[in-house]
A = this chain, B = another copy of it.
Amino acid sequence: MLPEELKGTRMSTAQNAIERFSRYQRQLVGDAQSAHCAVRDVLDRIGDKWSMLMIMELATRSQRFSALHRAIPDISKRMLTQTLRDLERDGLVTRHVFPTKPPSVEYRLAPLGQSLLDPMAALIDWADRRYSDIHAARVRFDGAHGDVPR
């Protein structure tokens, strides 16, 4: 499902992106902080080690803290909490506390988070299809530039 203003035009999505990006870049250069660059903001959110993993995990089903931890065993409780808080703060995930005797907390993907699934899908698909090319390029590069120590 492509965004409406892109559907409306006959331009390719990529061309659109380039032009849109030019705007961001001008903002960026003008702004020493680069604080208001929306693209950077998004990458900072999903570009970290666990956020995208978490979003995809919650996309399959809403889950409680411990279930998430079982689903992603190699994350520490510290990072699990922190990532969930960040996602909650940005409105991508909602947190629901059930006041049972041992407390239980369920995390759900908010509508805003769900709207991220399509763009992320495009990226995942690219990764899936181009991974072998990337790997081949790496082997070629490493072969050409003798990184062989020893």
Contacts and interface: CB of A to CB of B under 8 A. Distances in A.
Nearest to A59: B18
Q: How many copies altogether?
A: 2
Interface in A119-136: 119-131, 133-134, 136
Given A14-B59, A46-B43, A88 B141 contact: yes
A46 B131 CA distance: 14
Interface stretch (A1-9, A76-84, A100-108): A1-9
B60 A133 contact: no
Contacts of A112: 130, 133-134, 137
A25 B32 CA distance: 39
A1 B17 CA distance: 12
A97 interface: no
B119 A125 contact: yes
A117 B14 contact: yes
Nearest to A14: B117
Interface string A1-43: 1110010000011101110111011001100101000110111
Contacts of A131: 38, 41-42
Given A43-B47, A89-B142, A134-B91, A124 B21 contact: yes
A96 interface: no
